[in-house]
Amino acid sequence: MDPITIRSVRPIVTAPEGRPLVVVRVDTSEPELYGFGCATFTQRALTVAHAVSTYLAPWAQGRNVDDIEDIWQGAMASTFWRNGPILNAALSGLDMALWDIKGKRAGMPCYQLWGGKSREAAAVYRHADGSTLDEVVDNVARFVEEGYRFIRCQWGGYGGMAGNSSAEEGVKFLNPNVHPPCGALPGEYFDPHAYRRRVPELLARIREEFGTTIELLHDVHERLQPADAIRLAKDVEPFDLFFLEDLFPPEQVEWLSIVRQQSTVPLAISELFTHPLEWMPLITNRLIDFIRIHISQIGGVTPALKVAHLCELYGIRTAWQDPKDVSPLGHMANLHIEIHAHNFGIHEWGGWGDHSPMVFRGLPEVRDGYMYPNTSPGWGMEIDEEAAAAFPATAQTLPSPVIRLPDGTAVWP
């Protein structure tokens, strides 16, 4: 029997909830056999789509759909300069689509291909924010009432308390005490010291209101200098966090060894990583407790499975990055790994918007704080391309403001 081969690879770009999402469809030499994969990189969605159609599609055409590992390795090597977010995302779309096809051919969901279930569903955490403490408490209470037991708490977004906007056009203050100099450039301004002091106040209030009946998480989002980040890790210890996220940017992860010496707060990091040399030292030196990789940014399910199994050997759990920067299809792929992998930790979920179910058919079910996959073959999802076309994405669909310190200095991320 002749092998089934890749007939075409093409991107589908859509923004049903305002954020550009990239999905890749792979059609095969077998009529009606096709698969979908997530290639989402919201900030550079059109560039990823171009890479898929211009470079990856002609390279993959004619290859045997069974050879997922060889296709992944070959596609990675073909770029010569490896492990960048654009090409990794494009490869992720192809890789996930091939796993979808593999599951369909086997007549089973993808998690069964890897050895079956470790659990029936994945616990999810929700994001509770607010411009005031009372508003945060109200949002936490709403999620608790809906059955969620893991909640990430922020006060005024990343970096501190929301405040008044400047009269100066384009300047937004995340703290009312921020006073930039005259002629301040456009951006979102925040005070890292005020932010650091307010996080313990936030967590103390949540614990006062809800006790230890829920698990708390907090995302620093790399908004602190190393010394302040270490101080924060020590200050939040009494509040028994499930994890503290992104204490440092990738350029400063060497500081994690110092944090380990001074605080027992569980640490989650790596959502910006694209290269194995970024996460390997953190795993093998046991400097983190949760791996936060964005699966599309490392090239898809094939490398993610390897990372998950490596982390298991070092006592590290998975917490794949799953905000609204991931398509619903990407959520499903992450969920299948979580259902399978023994060392699952938590699934991040920002909720579906009103339009997502129109484009993505077969969404995973969420009830009482858990996300359940369907049992259809592959990912068990379909993309309505006509509906997707009704929500076009452009290069300006997701503008990214510059984040600035009180004196106007631009900072990452």
- Active-site positions read 158, 221
DSSP characters over 108-143? SBHHHHTT--S-SSEEEEEEE--SSHHHHHHHHHHH
What number of other Cβ atoms are within 10 A of residue 262's Cβ?
12
Element (H, E) at 281: helix 276-284
- Measured CA to CA, the distance from residue 259 to residue 229 in angstroms comes to 9
Contact 122, 339 (CB under 8 A): yes
What number of other Cβ atoms are within 10 A of residue 115's Cβ?
10
- Determine the angle formed by the axes of helices 192-210 and 133-145, rounding to 10 degrees: 40
- 11 phi and psi angles, rounded to 5 deg: -85, 150
- Cα-Cα-Cα-Cα torsion 86, 88, 90, 91, nearest 10 degrees, comes to 160
Strand-pair partners of 150: 125, 215
What number of other Cβ atoms are within 10 A of residue 351's Cβ?
11
**DSSP structure class, residue 407:** T
Structure tokens at 168: 């100066």
Element (H, E) at 382: strand 382-383
Cα dist. 16→20, 265, 324, 350, 375 in Å? Answer: 8, 37, 11, 14, 25
Half-sphere exposure of 257 toward its Cβ, with a 13 Å CA cutoff?
A: 5
Quick one: CA dihedral 78, 84, 89, 95, positive or negative?
positive
The gap from C-alpha 392 to its chain's centroid, in whole angstroms, comes to 22
Identify whether 413 is preceded by a cis peptide bond (ω within 30 of 0).
yes
- Determine the angle formed by the axes of helices 301-313 and 276-284, rounding to 10 degrees: 20
